A and B are shown apart, each in its own frame.
Chain A
């Protein structure tokens, strides 16, 4: 059983590290032989912001049970706020840890160059130009992303060009993707076997419809699965042959969903439906009531028993990251470990 080594990261003084990169650099070169999970817990002392890549994750030997994980410390995530069910679901550092890139073109905030990296409970934004956030520049495997708010495009790819992206067997759970770009894909995926569970892919209405939700390299050979995801504002979900037949219970404004079963199609999409606000101002990706998203989702009790706010999902959940509820009762938070 690996030991989880927890290190604090923040700018207030008294933390283990004040920079994300130092946290990575201090990790053992071989987490497998060290028998460790190297976990960095971010504190919302101040926004993590830079014009350069703030964290290159790399250098360590990892596997599925020995890996690096970046997350928010207890009480420091947007998930942990008392007003989590009433706060707008959008990038806002007043609500929790935020990592932002002001780079006008390329690279984003976090560059992942090793296998099995995990990231959870933080917000990430690409400010200008390319709006990249998190990704890699080489083919990796086994990444897991959970309970994130991502404001940007081309998630999964760090550097422009080169065709790199999510890699093989990535798992993306409860991630709210808000794509501000005119046509760039929301996610770049480059290998097969990735899964998107209870995510929301939304392009601002001012730029809709346009581009792919997921840009999949080698479509037809490489496929990914979508379950209980909301996909709105795109010209298509992905290239033909990319969406695996096992996909199910998704919702889209498109006239058809490329594969799978029990999908909701031609769902009305504008600035105020099916999300609170998908326009360019005051964005809020919480689902509203009385749309085709309600009760038509798929419950993945293993990976996504709770929604992005920590609210328990019923057997017939709301499609996407946000579970509609008649009573705003919150339950446990969704830590990885």
Chain B
């Protein structure tokens, strides 16, 4: 079984177009670890992240979700390549898991009986916030929710858009 740390809201840099591309967006997988991984305090509690478990799949099977957007032109600058070439459709995942888990960042695990053992590294301040999904995500569901990121055009590159074509 693998455990995926996934961002569920866009991180945005409003000051720089290229740095904004480097920010992880909703659906991008931050890390994949084996079952039982001891996630850090802030990995469990950060409201922008969720942790999904995928049964019967080795973490090595998720390399596509951890790889950067590939360049289609190795000779050109990589400034518009995104940190992940694939991401998870949260709409499709929400349909499988129930939308509340992804949308609500104050929620607790969706099951009434939380099978996750008490995490010693969670400091309880106010309501317990569990970003770890108690219900495992079937591999087929994850695969169906995997989509390629949309390439970003460079507004400063001539020819990247019709407005920049000379002639």
Residue numbers of A with Cβ under 8 A of B are 7-9, 11-19, 21-22, 25-26, 29-30, 51-53, 56, 58-61, 111, 113-114, 137-139, 159, 161-162, 164
Q: Which residue of B lies closest to A27 (CB)?
A: B11
For window 11-28 of B, CB contacts with A under 8 Å fall at 11-16, 19-20, 22-24
A-B contact pairs, 11 of them (CB 8 A): A9-B40, A13-B121, A19-B40, A22-B40, A29-B11, A29-B20, A51-B60, A51-B63, A56-B68, A111-B68, A162-B74
In the complex, A168→B43 CA distance in Å? 34
Q: Which residue of B lies closest to A7 (CB)?
A: B42
Whether B104 is near chain A, meaning CB under 8 Å from some CB there, is: no
- Which of these, A22, A51, A53, A111, contacts B42 with CB under 8 Å? A22
CB distance from B154 to the nearest CB of A (A): 12
- Contact, CB under 8 Å: A16 / B13: no
Across-interface contacts of A19 in B (CB, < 8 A): 5, 30-31, 33, 40, 43
- Contact, CB under 8 Å: A14 / B120: yes
Across-interface contacts of B74 in A (CB, < 8 A): 159, 161-162
- Contact, CB under 8 Å: B37 / A113: no
Q: Which residue of A lies closest to B63 (CB)?
A: A52
Across-interface contacts of A164 in B (CB, < 8 A): 78
Across-interface contacts of A9 in B (CB, < 8 A): 40
- Contact, CB under 8 Å: A113 / B30: no
Across-interface contacts of A138 in B (CB, < 8 A): 77-79
- Which of these, A14, A30, A51, contacts B41 with CB under 8 Å? A14
- Contact, CB under 8 Å: A29 / B23: yes
- Contact, CB under 8 Å: A18 / B83: no
- Contact, CB under 8 Å: B13 / A26: no
Q: Which residue of B lies closest to A8 (CB)?
A: B40
- Which of these, B13, B33, B67, contacts A29 with CB under 8 Å? B13
Known: A11-B38, A52-B63, A59-B13. A18 touches B33 (CB 8 A): yes
Known: A15-B41, A138-B78. A60 touches B33 (CB 8 A): no
CB distance from A30 to the nearest CB of B (A): 6
In the complex, A12→B37 CA distance in Å? 9
Across-interface contacts of A58 in B (CB, < 8 A): 19, 22-23, 83
Residue with the highest number of chain B CB atoms closer than 10 Å, among A52, A59, A138, A139: A59
- Contact, CB under 8 Å: A114 / B37: no
